[in-house]
Amino acid sequence: MSDGADRVDAVSAPGYFISFEGGDGVGKSTQSRLLGQWLGELTGREVVLTREPGGTELGKELRAAVLHGQDMDPRTEALIYAADRAHHVASLVRPALERGAIVVTDRYLDSSVAYQAGGRELGADEVELISRWAVQDLMPDVTILLDLDPAAASARIRRQHDRLERAGAEFHRRTREAFLARAAADPDRWVVLDATASIDDLQAQIRVDVAARLELTPVVEEAEDTVAAEPDDGFDDTDSAIGYTPGLGFGPGGAAGPTTGSGAA
């Protein structure tokens, strides 16, 4: 990436909030990391890369319970996700945005509506109401949906499947349809991309769309020549939020202030 004229000067608050959505295995972790690094270099801003559930210390405990614990009824599942989201937003996301950071999250509120209302067949209005109450109506500036046939996405997952990933083909078909329906209903916020594209091509398109939606200049016409792939769900279960500092990268060495380690603000 060139510097100088291609760099957007750092500015103060408010920050930018970007979410990635889609089924497991579509590439959210890879693409969110690449986008976060690029946005940090482009804008000079602090970048907080996080996920739901699991972006905080409490979130890691809730993630283990809902994804790797014993079976639970759909309403309990929805309430656990809402509790994680309330804590995540209050302790990490909102403070980061208020100090002018860019927050990139792997999953947010739309996942609850797609998975619990679509997949689990709970009422979509009820799940959305609970989720919006939990975050006091904080919604992303841009949501990127990486769309892929569930069978193809499942084949990409190299680790042992978690409880939701084992829910069956019909569950994942309903979840995908719910994501697409939400995107179609709010095209100003959503960007829908075909996740069968190569990592390079997909990242290039994401950069163009995000830069345009956030009115960052110059709008990017093509990505860097080479971008490195990381496995989807690249967060280890011991990870939570990760900070990024331009020139240093992600992780404890590149994190600034409260974004180091657990990410609790």
Cis status of the peptide bond prior to 95, with omega within 30 of 0 = no
Bridge-based pairing of strands 102-106 and 16-21 is parallel
Rounded to whole angstroms, the Cα distance separating 221 from 4 reads: 16
Residues 6+ apart with CB under 8 A from 263: 48, 50, 55, 56, 92, 240, 241, 242, 243
Residue 32, pLDDT score: 96
What six digits make up the tokens of 158? 């190299």
In a domain, 240, yes or no: no
Cis status of the peptide bond prior to 231, with omega within 30 of 0 = no
What six digits make up the tokens of 21? 């959505």
In a domain, 57, yes or no: yes
Containing 98, the helix (H) or strand (E) segment is helix 94-98
- The CATH number assigned to the domain holding 47 equals 3.40.50.300
Whole-prediction pTM:
0.78
In a domain, 254, yes or no: no
pLDDT band at 107 (very low <50, low <70, confident <90, very high): very high
State the CB neighbour count (10 A cutoff) for residue 111: 27
146: left (phi > 0), else alpha (psi -120 to 50), else beta? beta
User: Which of 183, 181, 167, 129 lies closest to 19, judged by CA?
Assistant: 183
Write down the residue that tokens 């972006």 correspond to: 55
* Measured CA distances, 49 to 58, 148, 194, 241 (Å): 17, 23, 23, 6
Query: Of the spans 21-30, 53-62, 111-120, which averages the highest pLDDT?
Result: 21-30
In a domain, 130, yes or no: yes
In a domain, 247, yes or no: no
The number of folded domains in the chain is 1
Containing 104, the helix (H) or strand (E) segment is strand 102-106
* Measured CA distances, 79 to 127, 178, 236 (Å): 9, 19, 24
**pLDDT > 70: what percent of the chain?**
68
Helix (H, G, I), strand (E, B) or coil at 145: strand
**pLDDT > 90: what percent of the chain?**
44
How much is the CA Rg of the chain, to the nearest whole Å? Answer: 17
Write the single-letter amino acid at 185: A
In a domain, 26, yes or no: yes
In a domain, 261, yes or no: no
Domain membership of residue 151 as a residue range: 13-235
* Measured CA distances, 245 to 3, 66, 98, 242 (Å): 16, 32, 17, 10
Rounded to whole angstroms, the Cα distance separating 145 from 125 reads: 20
For 185-205, what is each residue's pLDDT tens digit? 999 999 999 999 999 999 999
Contact 57, 262 (CB under 8 A): yes
For 44-80, what is each residue's pLDDT tens digit? 999 999 999 877 888 778 777 776 556 778 888 888 8
Residue 80, pLDDT score: 85
Average pLDDT, the chain: 77
